Structure 1
Amino acid sequence: MIVQALKGYLLHLGIEKRVSEATMRAYEGDVVQFTDHLRAGLSREPDFSDAEPLAVRSFLGRLSRDGYSKRSVARKIASLRSFFAYCADRGLCAADPTIGISAPKTGRSLPVFASVQAMNRMMEIPPLDTMRGLRDRAVLEILYGTGMRLSELAGCSVGSCDFERGTIAVVGKRNKERVLPLGGKAAEHLRRYLEARYRASPAVFESRAGLGAFLGPALREPLVAGRGGERISKRTIQRIVRRYLEHAASLARMSPHVLRHTFATHLLDAGADLRAVQELLGHASLSTTQIYTHVTTERLRAVFDKAHPRS
């Protein structure tokens, strides 16, 4: 049965492949959606004998009719291909029904990023006389100053920071840890935020783990906290970024990932080495990072076309 195989596949992804929870949910959703498609024409639970190449093509056709983008369809094919390869390797199905089925070609869209001026404007918006303002400024400075992912910031604890060395450790995709430089502005505003939290409730920081670290906060305390002192949610970080970014720039997207794109683009604009940027972003492949070189090249071309008399 496909449903039972899916449970084992998810364990395989989480334990052996060490993929993120978000990726696991996406893969699970894609396989469940395909299973639902099979179930629609049956009076019983679908099994592997129902998952034929024709059924896969029928599923993809339905996705296209329902208005799914080429990128979404390509991702769902990748999910099914991974799942059925796992099942075929373990003898759960006779053959992989996705073999010979190609994904639609998707043009790679260039990352959305903000200007240096927009970043400077955004940083001046949060009021620094309130706990919320201090927190928001710290969040913005960290995301733009390190290029870390939304999930990486949400998972950071106070002990992730080494203020003496000016670094912050994050756990990225596939649970890979990397140590990032914490710039002067990010360190300054993170320190101010943590100091304010400690002054507001020193007993809370000290009693939870009994380990004094930076001004007393326990190393296991969340680096960025919600209203009740709990670890900040990803949704809250998204709201913080959107709230300030939309007042500082006019962009097609307003998300934490825009700050990550902006971080990488500004580094390359200033002459940073591509492989160094790859390491900072935590990209497994250099080709993923190379998309930012297209951004800088297109900008240079636009400047040339506008300014050169023989363009």
Structure 2
Amino acid sequence: MGNKPSSEIIRRFIDFIALQRRYSKHTQNAYLTDLEQFESFLQTLSEGNKQQITQADYHDVRAWVISLLDDEQVTARSINRKLSALRSFYRFAIQEQLIEESPLRKLKALKADKKITPFLPQTDARQLWQALTELPADEFITAREQVILILLYTTGIRLSELIHLKISDIDFSNRQIKVWGKGSKQRIVPLLPQIFALLENYIQIKSQLFGEAIHSPLVCTDKGEEAYPMLIYRTVRKHLDMITTIERRSPHVLRHSYATHLLDGGADLNAVKELLGHSSLAATQVYTHTSIEKLRKVFEDAHPRS
């Protein structure tokens, strides 16, 4: 086993994930880079004797991880991604009967710090709201931009949920929308009274352009077709660029802002869980970080021994 040149084996693996697994070109390139990096590291261990990647053992992989940890620019998250590439490669090698077991069999993933999505400060959120309400709402594109931003921020729905939201999902009499979340789970999310005029205005303009179809997507393209993710991303980025300095400016930032601002305002965690469509409370707790920091500041400012 393991008699083929490493470069050929790696090429076969990349062909496999491209043709059989249909991995993206980006993933293919990332895996290739990681495997070649590990292969180069093996050469340093074998002092130029060209140790093959299929000959590596647990200690070789562990030594590589330690060397990566010495680099302050490499995070635990990126190391875990590299290990994921190796695991996929060695599964392929076992399948091809090139090795008997993976050298990563006993290796555990590193504990990575949880990545916290940024959120809009309250001042930025107020500025965004004011900017949106002042847009000329007699044009389809600007009316659509109002609806996209305001729905994302005032309901906390996901990008995919917004795209699949239909006009028939809006209950004007009860001031709520019906949202189809992950796993086709349905939930009801209340709407602020202030946004109904904007919704009605947009729907009227949309109907004049593309006809009245109650079951058509609420947010559509300039041709009346269902919106696509990049359209939503571009709209969000355009408006957040004008009012905030936070690094990430995506639809998820507005979802995070919605949850964070609700919790900061005293909302019950279980209620926020239901509004967001989370299946477990643990998924919602990621949004409590700012509320905890706010409580900590109140405590430190008020406690007589602080």
Same fold, TM exceeding 0.5? Answer: yes
Give the match for residue 138 of structure 2. Answer: 129
Q: CA deviation at 1:61?
A: 5.6
Alignment of 1:17-166 (within 5 A): 34=34, 49=54, 53=58, 54=60, 58=64, 67-77=73-83, 83=88, 94-126=100-132, 127=135, 128-165=137-174, 166=176
Q: CA deviation at 1:145?
A: 1.6
Give the match for residue 261 of structure 2. Answer: 266
Give the match for residue 242 of structure 1. Answer: 237
Instruction: Say which SS state the counterpart of residue 169 (structure 1) adopts.
Output: strand
Alignment of 1:136-285 (within 5 A): 136-165=145-174, 166-172=176-182, 175-184=183-192, 185-202=194-211, 216-219=212-215, 221-285=216-280
Q: Partner letter of residue 267 of structure 2?
A: A
Q: Which runs of 5+ in 2 are unaligned?
A: 1-11, 43-51
| Distance in 2 separating the partners of 1:64 and 1:151 | 40
| Distance in 2 separating the partners of 1:77 and 1:282 | 32
Structure (1 or 2) with the larger CA radius of gyration: 2
Q: Percent same amino acid at aligned positions?
A: 29
| Distance in 1 separating the partners of 2:229 and 2:125 | 21
| Distance in 2 separating the partners of 1:182 and 1:255 | 23
Is contact 1:158-1:223 (8 Å) kept? Answer: yes
Instruction: Say which SS state the counterpart of residue 230 (structure 1) adopts.
Output: coil
Give the match for residue 48 of structure 2. Answer: none
1:193-248 deviation per Cα after TM superposition (whole angstroms, max 9, x unaligned): 1211112232xxxxxxxxxxxxx2252x3321222323323223222222222333
Is contact 2:181-2:277 (8 Å) kept? Answer: no
Q: CA deviation at 1:118?
A: 2.6
Q: CA deviation at 1:27?
A: 7.2
Is contact 2:156-2:276 (8 Å) kept? Answer: yes
1:275-296 deviation per Cα after TM superposition (whole angstroms, max 9, x unaligned): 3322332334432321222220
Summarize the Cα distance change of 1:61–1:257 in structure 2 as closer, same or farther, 3 Å threshold. farther
| Distance in 2 separating the partners of 1:130 and 1:230 | 17
Q: Partner letter of residue 171 of structure 1?
A: G
Is contact 1:60-1:73 (8 Å) kept? Answer: no
1:15-71 deviation per Cα after TM superposition (whole angstroms, max 9, x unaligned): xxxxxx9xx998777656556667889xxxxx9956864468648967986955332
| Distance in 2 separating the partners of 1:99 and 1:243 | 46
Instruction: Say which SS state the counterpart of residue 160 (structure 2) adopts.
Output: helix
Give the match for residue 293 of structure 2. Answer: 298
Give the match for residue 45 of structure 2. Answer: none
Summarize the Cα distance change of 1:29–1:286 in structure 2 as closer, same or farther, 3 Å threshold. farther
Q: Partner letter of residue 156 of structure 1?
A: L
Return 232-241 or 185-194, whichever deviates more.
185-194
Is contact 2:65-2:79 (8 Å) kept? Answer: no
Provide the aligned C-alpha RMSD in A.
4.1
Q: Partner letter of residue 251 of structure 2?
A: P
| Distance in 1 separating the partners of 2:55 and 2:161 | 40
1:96-133 deviation per Cα after TM superposition (whole angstroms, max 9, x unaligned): 44333233333335442223443232122131232222
| Distance in 2 separating the partners of 1:282 and 1:84 | 36
Q: Which runs of 5+ in 1 are unaligned?
A: 12-20, 42-46, 203-215
Give the match for residue 208 of structure 1. Answer: none
Q: Partner letter of residue 170 of structure 1?
A: W
